[in-house]
Amino acid sequence: MTGAEHAPAKVNLCLHVTGRRDDGYHLLDSIVVFAGVGDTVSARAGKGLSLAITGPQGPGLEAGDDNLVLRAARLMGARDLAFTLDKHLPQAAGIGGGSADAAATLRLLSRITGEGLPDPAAIATLGADIPVCLSSRPARMRGVGEVLDPLPPLPPFAMVLVNPGVAVPTAPVFQALARRDMPPLPDTCGPWPDTAAFFGWLRAQRNDLQAPACAVAPVITLVLQALEATTGCALARMSGSGATCFGLFPDMEAARAAERALRAAHPDWWIAASPALTGSSAGA
């Protein structure tokens, strides 16, 4: 029993904080897409459950029982499997790395065992981003992540993801919010006739966590300024609660040129140009 599954990066193109529940969880309204860059989860027959972590972003990541790959495997009732997580996405970065890994583990085990996925309530215990990462398709994500609405077809575009190597814990960012009842996205999202129209619509939206994250980690402001200065960047914004930011570009040629310029100026940053996975099955 062997197999592998891609775990693409999740990118919040916009993120509106619209309220907070009595239990303290914040209500969000977000447009989510996935990038071609990501981690890979693989499994082979073994004795008991085990996890090895490889890849350039693996150092420092614990492979213990609390790792989301093993938690997802236990949720599926997996036994006698040796997992490998090839880690390419930075940790605590606002692009759903751990959630993407857990979701990839669930998809992988369902595929190689023929078993159905756990019920949504059980999946949600792994994290709020697991449902959207499980489908890895563009979506409007609301509530605490459990309300997912498909989007009209997205025009093609490319992204450059940049992380300055600073982990930004989510809790301090939410604590720094001045308001927790900001307006939601428009009732109707799309359709967008072309890439320029989509970029124009996104410019009118927000990431309400960006300002507080910049206060917590001022280097995020430098990342945004560096992206904005690249040729062809239509929009620079932070993803999730940070610290990863993205620049949107009309095509991969422009994105790769921006990636080269940013790498030359900031060799210590994690930088990746990638197409946005805008098809009906982004994980494919």
What positions carry a catalytic annotation? 10, 129
Is residue 271 within 8 Å of residue 261, measured between CB atoms?
no
| Beta-sheet pairing, 245-249 with 158-163 | antiparallel
Is the sign of the CA dihedral 188, 204, 210, 166 positive or negative? positive
Is residue 213 within 8 Å of residue 220, measured between CB atoms?
yes
| Secondary structure E strands in 121-249 | 139-143, 147-150, 158-163, 235-238, 245-249
Helix (H) or strand (E) holding 273: strand 270-277
Is residue 94 within 8 Å of residue 238, measured between CB atoms?
yes
DSSP label at residue 275: E
Please give the structure tokens belonging to residue 145: 């992540």
How many residues are present in the chain?
A: 284
Q: How far apart are CA 70 and CA 7, in angstroms?
A: 15
- Of 208, 276, 202, 268, give the one whose Cα is nearest residue 241: 208
Q: Helix, strand, or coil here: 104?
A: helix
The DSSP result for 190-227, as a single string, is: ---SSHHHHHHHHHTS-BTTHHHHHHH-THHHHHHHHH
The burial of 222, by beta-carbon neighbours within 10 Å (0-12 exposed, 13-18 middle, 19 or more buried), is given as: middle
